[in-house]
Amino acid sequence: MAKCLNSICAVSHVERRDFLQGIIAMPARRALEKEKINSLEKLSDYSEEEILKLHGFGKNAMLKLKNHMKENHVSFKNN
């Protein structure tokens, strides 16, 4: 009766390179992922205030994100 679920897990869980991994914490990355923000170019379509409103995003994550964006010559909308 028991069934091995390894094949199901292998199909549903695909390893991928996480956007901003090592830059900001996982809750903030999940917040961006939920909004389908997966590149700095997409991030530049949002204002700093809009990103701070996302659940899981705080001042610490914002500071780290802004530093990373500055290093890559990208800025938020309205900046």
pLDDT tens column, 6-51: 544 444 444 346 899 999 999 999 999 999 999 999 999 999 999 9
**How many whole angstroms separate alpha carbon 79 and alpha carbon 73?**
12
Which of 27, 23, 26 has its CA nearest to residue 55? 27
Q: Note whether 31 and 42 are within 8 A (CB).
A: no
Residue 69 corresponds to which tokens in the numbers above?
């964006």
Q: Note whether 28 and 56 are within 8 A (CB).
A: yes
Does the structure show a pLDDT above 60 at 5? no
Question: Identity (one letter) of the amino acid at 74?
Answer: V
pLDDT of residue 18: 81
- Rounded to two decimals, the pTM is 0.74
Residue 12 vs residue 64, higher pLDDT: 64
Question: Identity (one letter) of the amino acid at 7?
Answer: S
